[in-house]
């Protein structure tokens, strides 16, 4: 569902550009709004959310899908935690639909899906592992890297229940905006994938904005 934001970028309290292949890590407080902006179009922003005070409570795709009765995320979607609490609500969305079924790219999946020589290509899972390794204060490890959201990524579910990675439906300047309902640690891998059309074979930067 397309829903425009009423917030203006010039009033944002925080803005940061995240190059493809890099991670983004920030606590967004309850009541604050975070926007993820697809600067050049057709990018995938692989995102994990955690309770900022207790990272064992984290975004849960299965609880979110069950509660809203739909597999796609868009404006109005409430993102549920593993404790069945609302973590964030999508309050604006100019892309229209986001995936939470396809999972994140990893050395392992790149190898099995594409070719053995793809094993050493940089992947989202590596970016998250770098994030938790460079931020020991979070007390998080590999076991905290769980199921994610792929903002802007198009993974249509076919009539017979199949999943396909299709060409993106996002475009330059499209964004998704979420209001935090609890203090949330946002961890994004701006996807470096080169083997499937999730980012048009051309990974590009995103921008993250926060309004208090």
**The dihedral formed by the CA atoms of 190, 195, 200 and 204, expressed in degrees to the nearest 10:** 30
Binding mask 67-106 for Zn ion (x = CB under 5 A): --------------------------------------x-
Task: Tell me, by CB under 5 A, how many residues bind Zn ion.
Answer: 4
Residues between 136 and 195 with contacts to Zn ion, criterion CB under 5 A? 191, 193
The residue (of 57 and 102) whose beta carbon lies closer to Zn ion is 102
The answer to whether the beta carbons of residues 19 and 177 sit under 8 Å apart is no
Return the bridge partners of 186, or none: 26, 49
In whole angstroms, how close is the CB of 81 to Zn ion at the nearest point?
23
The residue (of 70 and 133) whose beta carbon lies closer to Zn ion is 133
Residues between 115 and 134 with contacts to Zn ion, criterion CB under 5 A? 124
DSSP conformation letters of 87-148: EEEEEEESS--BBSSS----HHHHHHHT-GGGTTS--HHHHHHHHHHH-GGG---GGG----
In whole angstroms, how close is the CB of 128 to Zn ion at the nearest point?
10
In whole angstroms, how close is the CB of 18 to Zn ion at the nearest point?
13
Q: Does 34 bind Zn ion (CB under 5 A)?
A: no
The answer to whether the beta carbons of residues 72 and 97 sit under 8 Å apart is yes
In the DSSP assignment, the letter for residue 61 is H
In whole angstroms, how close is the CB of 58 to Zn ion at the nearest point?
18
Q: Which residues bind Zn ion (CB under 5 A)?
A: 105, 124, 191, 193
């Amino acid at each position: 569902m397309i829903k425009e934001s009423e917030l203006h970028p010039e009033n944002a309290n925080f803005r940061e550009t995240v190059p493809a292949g890099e991670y983004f890590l920030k606590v967004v407080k309850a009541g604050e709004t975070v926007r993820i902006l697809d600067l050049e179009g057709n990018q995938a922003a692989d995102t994990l959310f955690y309770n900022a005070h207790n990272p064992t409570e984290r975004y849960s795709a299965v609880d979110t899908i069950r509660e809203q009765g739909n597999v796609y995320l868009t404006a109005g979607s409430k993102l549920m935690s593993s404790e069945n609490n609302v973590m964030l609500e999508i309050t604006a969305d100019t892309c229209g639909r986001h995936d939470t079924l396809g999972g994140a790219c990893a050395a392992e999946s790149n190898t099995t899906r594409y070719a053995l020589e793809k094993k050493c290509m940089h992947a989202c899972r590596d970016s998250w592992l770098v994030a938790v390794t460079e931020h020991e204060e979070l007390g998080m490890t590999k076991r905290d890297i769980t199921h994610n959201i792929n903002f802007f990524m198009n993974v249509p579910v076919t009539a017979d229940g199949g999943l396909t990675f299709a060409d993106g439906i996002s475009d330059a300047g499209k964004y998704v905006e979420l209001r935090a309902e609890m203090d949330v640690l946002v961890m994004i891998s701006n996807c470096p994938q080169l083997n499937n059309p999730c980012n048009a074979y051309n990974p590009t930067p995103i921008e993250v904005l926060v309004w208090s």
